Amino acid sequence: MALEDAGKEVDAAFTAGGLRGLAFENAFGGAASFLRRRYTKDLTGVDLAVTGVAFDQAVTHRAGARFGPRAIREASSLQPFDPPWGWGYSPLDELAVVDYGDLAFDYAKVADFPAALSAHIRAILAAGPGVITLGGDHYITLPILRAYAERFGPLSVIQFDAHSDLWRDDDMDRIDHGTMMYKAIRAGVVDPAHSVQIGIRTECDDYLGMNVIDARAVHEQGPAAVAARARAIVGDRPCYLTFDIDALDPAFAPGTGTPVWGGLASWQAAAILRGLAGVNLVGGDVVEVSPPYDTTGATAIAGAHVAHELISLYGWTRRR
């Protein structure tokens, strides 16, 4: 299949003949699955499932991340023509990747949401694939980590973020994106000594043993040094990577709920992600993409690239 065959492909989300391979459907039309992967609930032979969680009822400021999964999928339509730049292999050719669709939940029963999301991720993991999740606000990472920890034990986490999400909150039933990592550590699903936060640029009284590479350190030390330090911290342990889009400076990702200046440039984030190749990635997410606050679509484009990089990281240690 070559680019000149674009006129023969349409709605690959439903008509794709296989689970592997690049896609050449016109970027501006067709059903918008992530990277033109097949929409399916059948996980037979699947290596990696992409799922959306359209939830933003835990935000402290601007809502809108419920529209993130849809926008990220649409933005991804320009990417499956070629392998992602700089990796030296084609993850879509090597891995069987599907779009599993979104989590179904009752928006009016917020208290039921965490258990519903954990069950959703647990069911995918039980079938064999890893999971890349498109959010949604950052609270969603906590129920996801709970499901992952059932399988892998306490996880190493690489968190790209402007905020530590370590606000003290011992009410484990509160649903708040600013306390997600605090509760994950307190619940024992994250191993802070072998986890790292990258891009932090807001105050935190107690990091609970987490390693921190703040935004200034990224700017001063450079992506290669940051990636090397992160790899050393997590070692070969099962690792989950969560990428809050506000890790990027608002100049690169204005469409988010709690933007903070002084953040990472998109090129820095891309270089760090590629520098993490070889970590034992078992899953990941990109969260807090809020399309209503970005008329250009740049934030969703960044989110789609991050998710593609997560697929590349996942596939790096699983190449055939």
pLDDT (tens, 9 = 90+) of the chain, 320 residues, equals: 455 666 778 999 999 989 999 999 999 999 999 999 999 999 999 999 999 999 999 999 999 999 999 999 999 999 999 999 999 999 999 999 999 999 999 999 999 999 999 999 999 999 999 999 999 999 999 999 999 999 999 999 999 999 999 999 888 889 999 899 999 999 999 999 999 999 999 999 999 999 999 999 999 999 999 999 999 999 999 999 999 999 999 999 999 999 999 999 999 999 999 999 999 999 999 999 999 999 999 999 999 999 999 999 999 999 87
Strands, sheet with 48-53, edge to edge from the N-terminal-most edge strand: 97-102, 48-53, 130-135, 281-287, 239-244, 156-160, 196-198, 211-213
How many of the other CB atoms lie within 10 Å of CB of 85? 9
What was the pLDDT predicted at 5? 63
SS3 assignment, position 305: helix
> Is the CB of residue 293 less than 8 Å from the CB of residue 68?
no
> Is the CB of residue 234 less than 8 Å from the CB of residue 275?
no
Look at strands 97-102 and 130-135 and give their pairing.
Answer: unpaired
Q: Where are the alpha helices (DSSP H) in the chain?
A: 12-15, 68-75, 91-94, 113-127, 141-152, 180-186, 215-221, 223-234, 266-275, 298-316
pLDDT one-digit tens code per residue, 72-115: 999 999 999 999 999 999 999 999 999 999 999 999 999 999 99
What was the pLDDT predicted at 271? 98
What was the pLDDT predicted at 172? 84
> Is the CB of residue 277 less than 8 Å from the CB of residue 264?
no
Question: Which run of H or of E encompasses 173?
Answer: none
The identity of residue 167, as a single letter, is: W
> Is the CB of residue 252 less than 8 Å from the CB of residue 99?
no
Burial class (CB in 10 A: 0-12, 13-18, 19+), 296: exposed
All domains in the chain, ordered by first residue:
3-316 (3.40.800.10)
